[in-house]
Amino acid sequence: MDFKYFTLLLVFFHHTGLSEITASDDWSYIGDNGPEHWPDLCISGKKQSPINIATEDTVKIDLGKLKFTRYDFAFQGKITNNGHSIQVQLCCVPIHLEGANLPSTYILEQIHFHWPAEHTIDKNRDALELHFVHYNEQYSNASMASQHENGIAVVATLFEVC
Ligand SMILES: *[C@@H]1O[C@H](CO)[C@@H](O)[C@H](O)[C@H]1NC(C)=O
Ligand SMILES: [Zn+2]
């Protein structure tokens, strides 16, 4: 099987970014635990993700380049199946994201997958979406960072099966 992929330079901040994946609460995309039953910000929030990106409504601006540091390094990690996703928790290699108008340098904490993709483009949903979850280096760890609006930056890559 081949994959075509592109990185959606969708650097989004999520306030509760980590609970998305680490919470043990039973949530789901459909049925009794589906989106209409998700609590709090999921209902009242105005800047929630995922979204559908309507290309017709997008605005082109040049934010400058994202700078990926040590993304080509081999590293140790712990792979977990948490029931919603396969997650790889990184350890011990400072892998950094900066640039593109980000307010700080962000440290890669974990990567995980969503299948099918969460974000859609013109309502088209790809087979797979990979999330690189980073936290702002000014906080001592990812859980502290996730309490702050500028704490978490996620880079999403969409994969199309071809
Ligand atoms: C994160 O840092 C805070 C404050 O330094 C500490 O209390 C907490 O235990 C740390 N959490 C993790 C998961 O390491
Ligand atoms: Zn995710």
pLDDT of 140 strictly over 90: yes
Give, rounded to a whole angstrom, the gap between the first and last alpha carbons of the chain.
7
Is residue 12 pLDDT above 80, yes or no? no
96 is catalytic: no
Residue whose structure tokens are 């990926």: 68
What architecture is the 51-159 domain classified under in CATH? Roll (3.10)
Residue 133's pLDDT is what?
A: 92
pLDDT in tens, 25-43: 566 777 777 777 776 666 6
Any ligand 1 atom below 6 A from CB of 143: yes
| Residues whose CB is less than 8 angstroms from the CB of residue 26 and which lie 6 or more positions away in sequence, other chains included | 33
Options 14, 15, 37, 84, the catalytic residue: 84
Q: Is 66 helix (H, G, I), strand (E, B) or coil?
A: strand
Q: How far is the CA of 147 from the centre of ligand 1 (A)?
A: 12
Q: In the chain, what are the domain boundaries?
A: 51-159
Q: What is the mean pLDDT of residues 8-34?
A: 57
Give the C-alpha separation, 68 to 134, whole Å.
11
Q: What pLDDT band is residue 9 in, cutting at 50, 70 and 90?
A: low
pLDDT of residue 148: 87
Find where tokens 């790809």 sit.
126
Using a 6 Å cutoff on CB, does residue 16 contact ligand 1? no
Identify the residue with better confidence: 149 or 39: 149
Residue 23 near ligand 1, beta carbon < 6 Å: no
pTM, two decimals, is 0.80
